[in-house]
Amino acid sequence: MSLHTETALEAFDEEWQEWHAAHERNRAHPHGFLAVTHLHWLSSEATRLEGAPGIWSADDDVVRVVLEPGESLERDGVQLSGSVALGPIEERGGINLVSGDTVIEVAKRGGEYIVRPRNPENQLLKQYQGTPAYTPNAAFAVAGTFVPFETPRATTVGAAVEGIQHVYEAPGEIRFRLAGEELALTAFNGYAPGSLSVLFTDQTSGKTTYAANRSLSVVPAADGTVQLDFNRAVNLPCAYTDLATCPLPPAENRLPVAIEAGEKIPYERQDQK
């Protein structure tokens, strides 16, 4: 190995270590998904929810919470009281309310409204010990090409929670070569402008990596070239908690090769191999 190659590999490893440490810090945020204590599905029937003050219901695309004397919630620094109407909320959108040390997430998933209290004292968060991952390997950082569809395709996928489906807009697919195979992944629009999100499984899924899904975020260049660094493939919240509504990959994103890179099955799920 030449000195130049060795230096490049050391830099690749250091960059991954920095990225992974930042990702772990974000995941362990006091009000991140590891802090979720309950998942409540709202209906038109008004009911009290464990972990959140008030009496909750959802009807006609509006969430209503009735706060009785002595109960309060805060939104953007403003105290709420009495009967409060929230929404409508966009699909995969949400509103955060504050109750003491708890953040109350009100969101829309699969066309339904949910309430998820997030408390930093949640045991899943307090006992979190990090996520195991493969040693970074530059062989799993490959060049690809983003090929837009003639028109974006509405793609329906299942969810980690039974009974709901997610619909995403797929603007195109990413074509690449790995392990001697010509492969393609349907890509969804990412959260950041110009980014794409890829959900996939591979031949390590259910063995060394989480069975249901992993995610990789990429940003195509103007000419469509894409860097697919599978060392940065990450687990979604459903890999850690049953209180998540994560989407499953579309059928065509089940890769026939073993991606021995990125995050592995969390310690919290080791019994599910």
The 10s digit of each residue's pLDDT in 201-258 is: 999 999 999 999 999 999 999 999 999 999 999 999 999 999 999 999 999 999 999 9
Alpha-carbon distances, residue 77 vs 67, 81, 94, 98 (angstroms):
17, 13, 17, 9
Whether 155 and 125 have beta carbons less than 8 Å apart is answered as no
Which of helix, strand or coil describes residue 185? strand
Distance, in Å, from the CA atom of 23 to the CA atom of 52, rounded to the nearest integer, reads: 28
138-166, pLDDT tens digit by residue? 999 999 999 999 999 999 999 999 889 99
| Residue 46 token pair | 């008004």
What is the rounded average pLDDT for all residues in the chain?
95
Whether pLDDT at 82 is above 80: yes
Residue 58 has pLDDT above 90, yes or no: yes
Residue 204 one-letter amino acid:
T
By percentage, how much of the chain surpasses pLDDT 90?
Answer: 91
Over residues 169-173, mean pLDDT: 97
The answer to whether the CB of 226 falls within 8 A of the CB of 232 is no
- What single letter denotes the amino acid at residue 147? V
Average pLDDT over residues 84-111: 96
Tokens representing 164?
């709901």
Residue 177 banded pLDDT, cuts 50, 70, 90: very high
Residues 255 and 183: beta-carbon distance below 8 Å: yes
Given a cut of 60, is residue 192 above it in pLDDT?
Answer: yes
Q: What average pLDDT does the segment 135-140 reach?
A: 96
| Banded model confidence at residue 137, pLDDT cuts 50, 70, 90 | very high
Map residue 191 onto helix, strand or coil.
coil
* 155 touches 186 (CB < 8 A): yes
Does residue 271 carry a pLDDT above 90? no
- Mean pLDDT computed over 108-112: 94
pLDDT of residue 5: 67
Determine the average pLDDT of the residues in 185-192. 94
| Mean of pLDDT values over 100-126 | 97
Structure tokens at 238: 């459903």
Structure confidence at residue 4 (pLDDT): 54
Q: Does the pLDDT of residue 272 top 90, yes or no?
A: no
Residue 117 identity: P
Question: Residue 7's pLDDT is what?
Answer: 82
Nearest of 201, 200, 207, 208 to residue 132 by alpha carbon:
208
Q: What is the C-alpha to C-alpha distance for residues 190 and 24, in angstroms, rounded to an integer? A: 20
Spatial contact of 160 and 246, defined as CB atoms under 8 Å apart: yes
**Identity of the amino acid at 263:** E
Among the listed residues 12, 239, 230, 210, the one whose alpha carbon sits nearest the alpha carbon of residue 140? 230
> Which pLDDT value is given to residue 50?
98
Work out the average pLDDT over 79-108: 96
Residue with tokens 């105290």: 79
Q: How far apart are CA 134 and CA 163, in angstroms?
A: 33
